[in-house]
Structure 1
Amino acid sequence: MSETQSNIAEFSVSEISFSIKRTMEDAFGYVRVRGELGRISRPGSGHIYLDLKDDRAVLSGVVWKGVASKLKIQPEQGLEVIATGKITTFPGQSKYQMVIDAMEPAGAGALMALLEERKKKLAAEGLFADDRKKRLPPLPRVIGVVTSPTGAVIRDILHRIEDRFPLHVVVWPVRVQGETSGAEVANGIRGFNALDPDGPVPRPDVLIVARGGGSIEDLWGFNEEAVVRAAAESQIPLISAVGHETDWTLIDLAADVRAPTPTGAAEIAVPVKAELMSMVDDRSRRLNSGLVRFVTSRRTELRAASAALPAPQDLLALPRQKFDTAANGLERALIYSTRTHRTNWQNLAGRLSPHLLQRLSSKARQDLQTVSERQQRALSVAVGQKRQSFLAIESRLTPARLRQQTTLGMERLSGLAERLDRAYTARLTHDKSRLDGLQKLLKSLSYKDVLARGYAVVRDDTGQPLRSAGGVASGAALSIELGDGTVDAVTVSGSAAPKKAKQKPKKPAEGKPEAGQGSLF
């Protein structure tokens, strides 16, 4: 096959790339560009890579390490700025970019302004109110997850639930980025709420809406009004786990609980099974110990009561003695009465005729028989009454009555144990809510978030924060705390008192921030 002859000049890849680079740099030189900051990246080299964008285009930008420390403002996502620099190309990737030498704020970004306006509108409707937020169940049976089925987020959630307490997890697959992500997430939340508790797909007890970190554009679907309203209307308690700990979206404000990460959401939703088993074992041991102490105490009280009771023979001694006394008295009374009547009869015998004597004798015999019968009946009644009294006393001393009292005591103990369990659960829930509130307050007052935005805390060799440059001697050892760690530094110049004259900033040493940088406190 013959080669095609052409008079077109041939260039190497490097020649054409660097020719384009020179052409763009000569054509534009220094320019001022106004736009909104999008993606911002701060690698370990100290350079800053970012995107400048408007509603139709995106321009990549880079701030070199030496310039980054001299910027008037630190780049933040969503901030509208005016950047000054030159347009150039990066031949290694065939892309053009802007090398930024200066940056100044130009106003709030369009997306951030829209987000703030939407936040105020939904807050006015009460969708973010704390009084409408629901408590999470202490031990859910089914957990519903609204997220992408193919990302690392669902794997992290499943792995953490498996480690803590294996439960049934139902995943509602959605897109977590793009134009349709907001509608799909809202449909997922409402779909879980519409499930029948007795249907083929179990209705979850807790919902988790999760996504990994990203830029404000990547997370914008979770700021849509439909998603916020669906989260606020959810009858199932909902945990929001969108982005990293520093990211926030409107669904975080409408959710019942916000988790810093998807893994943290799994930890909030599910307790640790081993801890629950340990708590149950501990309560069982305490219950058994309390029961043993109760039975022992009752046994001691029973023995004390038994020891205080008189013996049965002692209870019958007095009635028996009274009976013997009455019996002996009756015999003597009969003898005395007979003797008296005999004496009277003998005294009257001389004065009475046989007929009268027979009549009186007959009458006396009848009276004596009547009295004897009445005494016998009275004696029988008295003995019967004493016997009934003795039987009544004896019935109150039976073991059955003691067993009945013991049974009543056991029932009271069971009721007290149930009340103790409910009170313990309520106290534990209250303390957990209070701990969560204190943790949120601690995070809101911490200066770590401020350090993450590019500020630093400068301390002297004793660890005390420096509030001014006055009094810092040359060669003093300093430690500078940044958002991702602490570096040591040494001052190259010092002053005994603050100076009013403006000094030209010096370029900091490689890998170290400028000496004398102000403290946050």
Structure 2
Amino acid sequence: MTVIMPSDTPPSNDAALSVSDLAASLKRTVETNYDHVVVRGELGRVTLARSGHMYCDLKDDKAVLNTVMWKGQVNRLPFKPEEGLEVIATGRLSIYEGRSNYQMIASSMRPAGAGALMALLEERKKKFAAEGLFAPEHKKKLPYLPRTIGVVTSPTGAVIRDILHRIRDRFPVRVIVWPALVQGDSAAGQITAGIEGFNTMTGADRPDVLIVARGGGSIEDLWPFNEENVVRAAFNSEIPLISAVGHETDTTLIDYVSDARAPTPTGAAEIAVPVRSELLLMTGEHGERLKRALARRIGQSRDKLAAARLPRPESLLQAKRQRLDYASASLPKAALALVQKARLRVSRLAISPASLNAEIRASKQRLRDTAVRARPALNRLIEARRNTLAAQGKLLETLSYQSTLKRGYAIVRDTDGNLVRSATAAASTPSFKVSFGDGDVMARPDGATPPSPPPAPPVPKAAKPTKPKTDQGSLF
């Protein structure tokens, strides 16, 4: 197809192009010459269609570029596109023939500038914190002495050399390197694959601890370690994970979900393994302490055994024989001293009548003094007991059933002396006795007068206690 360009020559009789032909020709020209473009601009009129495609504008202060991104690329965006956010879009130019409008078909998009990335980083940080990905209870304990260490990093560069060199100096163990890009659009996917790949290993190849490492750089360079797929892979890792991304002042989201964070890749190696020479020294010191403790324990046990061992029979009898010899030697002296003590007691008993009479008089006087002091106390005791007895007698009289009868009540008994407790029982009783406070009356249910009961035998009076005769005079 030939495109007629404007010229200064007068028009000819050549056939004219249709609008669709011109639009198709322009589309081919644009798509051929602009098959890969990178455009920086501010997002405007962001619309997410039901189909999943995104339609938006890229604009600056002088122009507007219509942009479309298909569903597959939208789902892989590392951020949420919003109006006013400055982005860098990568794609190709095309022309929509239906309206002859040129537009950009974006294949990828990322925030432009550190300010936009920091805002996105803070938004993701709040999201993951709300989900509990940073909670301390999810942290796993690092093994003290791992047999195998897995490292996810670039296979070339200073980072992997520093890690291997530091591990070799401290405690040589097996190291497996999972090569991955640590910068660029595909870095996040490769880092995620490395973490998940190590977790799928079994047997002797499975690492005991993982190190995800990268050297320092700008926030754009470190951005793959802020991607959601990397953060979730680190959180879901069953193998304890150490993050060592950037320098000590650099912080990425993987640092929050990892089980330990190292300020540098070299620091990650120091966290992963102890120093072999220090372990040997510590083991030797522990061995010496164990030897000393064991020797001390053996000595104590030997002393206890010697103390518990039975002595010779001669030594058992030797002490007793010696005590017997001492007793035999002191027996005559002890017998003589005993006789002398007996004689002294007998001589002391030979007391004169005058001194005996004086002792008797003194004893009588002490007895009289005691009687004088005891009489008031005895009288008070007798009076208190008498008052207590009188009070208890009054209480007994108040609580007795005779007092109740005197207040107008009566007791009904049958001829056998059993209580009649109800009118029904009284109706079936031939005759009964009604006791009042001043006497008893016989009655019958039909109202007839029953015969009087025989008088009760008199109660014999208690005999008064006789005072025993004694020749002893009154103490008082």
> Which band: TM-score by shorter chain?
0.3 to 0.5
For the pair shown, the structure with the greater C-alpha radius of gyration is 2
TM-score w.r.t. structure 2 length?
Answer: 0.43
